[in-house]
Amino acid sequence: MVESVRVHADAAVTVSCAFSGALGSAAKIDLPFTMDVSRGDPGELRGLSRECSRAFSVGGEFHFEVVDRIPEAQGLKSSSALVLSAMIGVSRLLGAELEGEELLRLCAEASVRLGLSVTGALDDLSAIYYGGVSVTDNASNRIIFTDRMPDLPVLVVESSDRRISYSARVDEYRKMRRAWRAVENLLMRREFLEAMVIDGYLCSLIEGSDGDAISTMLLNSATHACQSGKGPAVVGVFRNEGDMERCASILESKGRRVKRSRFKNSGIWVEHI
Ligand SMILES: Nc1ncnc2c1ncn2[C@@H]1O[C@H](COP(=O)(O)OP(=O)(O)O)[C@@H](O)[C@H]1O
Ligand SMILES: O=C(O)C1=C[C@@H](OP(=O)(O)O)[C@@H](O)[C@H](O)C1
C-alpha cells in the first residue's frame, strides 16, 4: 500500500479572468508548489481533508504538508494548486483511477464549497494539471481547449498586498462582461499573450494595478507586461533570459521582489515517497 506521495504542481498566470462570466484561461509557469500527502491529522486543512474523503467516498483523514508554496492571493493560483494537489495526492494514495476532466470538476466543486474560488476556477486547475494554456467555460465546468505556450521567460513581480478571489467585486466584473469579448476573440485566435494583456488591463480598471512594475518591464525589453488577472502580482514576458535578467536587476534595485520563471508545458506529476 502507498503510504505517502509527493505532488509536484506549479503556479499559473491569468490569461482571461472568468469573474465577468467570460471564458476563463490560465497559463502554467515554472514556479513550484510541492505537497506531501499521507493519512493523518489534517490540522488547519481539515476542510480540504473532508472534501477529499467526500470525493472518493472514503472515511479517515488526510495530512497535507506544503513543501514549496506559491505566493498566496496574488493571482498566481495558489488555491487551485492546493486543492488539486490534495485531490490528486489522495487519489494516488487510494489507488483510485480518477484522472483528467472528471478529477478537475471535483476539485472545482470542492474549491467553491471551501470558499477558495468564485467559479471553481476550472481554467486554473486545468492549466496546472495539463501544463501550457487552458481555455474553459467555468459556468458549465467544461474545458474548451488546451494548447502549448511558447517557451519564453516570464518575470513575476510580487506585491505586498493580497487580493483574495472570494472577496473580489464580482458584480463589477459582470457589468463589464461585454468588454471581455475582445479577450475571448483573442483566445479563439490563440493569441494568448495579447489576451493576457487586455485581461490584465480590464481587471486593473476594477482593482487598480502596479503601474510602476508594468511600465518598468515594458521600458526594459518586455514584449508583454500586465497584471495577472485580478492581481495584484504583475508578469512580464521576454524574448530571452538576458533581457529578463537585466529587467529583474532593475526591479530589484528599486526594492521589488521578483521571481524568475518561464511558461511550462508539462503537467502535474506525483512520486511515491
Ligand atoms: N499553502 C496553503 N495553505 C493553506 N491555504 C492556502 C495555501 N495556498 C493557498 N491557500 C488559500 O488560498 C487563498 C488564496 O486563494 P485566492 O484568493 O484564490 O488567490 P490565488 O489562488 O490566486 O493565490 C489563501 O488565502 C488561502 O486561504
Ligand atoms: O475564483 C475563481 O473562480 C477565479 C479566480 C481568478 O483567479 P485568481 O484567484 O488566481 O486571481 C480568475 O482568474 C479565474 O478565472 C477564476
Inform me whether the pLDDT recorded for 1 exceeds 80.
no
Taking the CA of 118 as reference, the closest ligand is: 2
pLDDT digits (tens, 9 = 90+) for 32-74: 999 999 999 999 999 999 999 999 999 999 999 999 999 999 9
Q: Exposed, middle or buried, 97 (CB in 10 Å: 0-12/13-18/19+)?
A: exposed
> Is 3.30.1490.190 the CATH number for 4-149+264-272?
no
Query: In angstroms, rounded to a whole number, what is the distance separating the alpha carbons of residues 24 and 139?
Result: 10
| Best probe residue, ligand 1, of 34, 44, 79, 138 (max atoms within 8 Å of C-beta) | 79
Domain 153-262 fold is: Alpha-Beta Plaits (3.30.70)
* Beta-bridge partner residues of 5: 37, 272
Say if residues 184 and 15 touch (Cβ distance below 8 Å): no
Residues 15-28 pLDDT 10s:
999 999 999 999 99
How far apart are the CA of 27 and the centre of ligand 2, in A? 12
> pLDDT digit string (tens) for 235-267?
999 999 999 999 999 999 999 999 999 999 999
pLDDT at 199 over 80: yes
Handedness of CA 31, 186, 134, 76 (dihedral sign): positive
DSSP E strands in 194-257: the ranges are: 224-227, 234-237
Q: How far is residue 112's CA from residue 139's CA, in Å, rounded to a whole number?
A: 12
* C-alpha of residue 218 to centroid of ligand 2, in Å: 25
| Rg from Cα positions in the chain | 18
User: Where are the chain's structural domains?
Assistant: 4-149+264-272, 153-262
Ligand 1 atom at minimal distance to the Cα of residue 66: 1
For ligand 1, the distance from its centroid to the CA atom of residue 82, given in whole angstroms, is 7
Using alpha carbons, list the distances in angstroms from residue 30 to 24, 127, 165, 171, 261: 20, 12, 22, 32, 5
Q: Pick out the residues of the known binding site.
A: 71-81
| Annotated binding-site ranges for ATP | 71-81
Q: What does the pLDDT read at residue 166? A: 87
- Give the Cα separation of 227 and 126 in Å (integer): 20
Q: Relative to the alpha carbon of 84, which ligand is closest?
A: 1
Q: What is the pLDDT of residues 152-183, one digit of tens each?
A: 999 999 999 999 998 899 999 999 999 999 99
Q: Which ligand does the CA of 27 lie closest to? A: 2
Average pLDDT over residues 95-106: 94
DSSP state at residue 165 = G
Q: Which residues line ligand 2 (CB under 6 A)?
A: 14, 17-18, 24, 75, 77, 117-119, 121, 123-124, 165, 229-230
Residues with CB under 6 A from ligand 1: 66, 69, 72-80, 82, 116, 164-165
**Closest protein CA for atom 4 of ligand 2:** 121
What pLDDT score does 2 carry?
A: 81
Do 210 and 226 form a contact (C-beta atoms < 8 A)?
no
Element housing 77 (H / E):
none
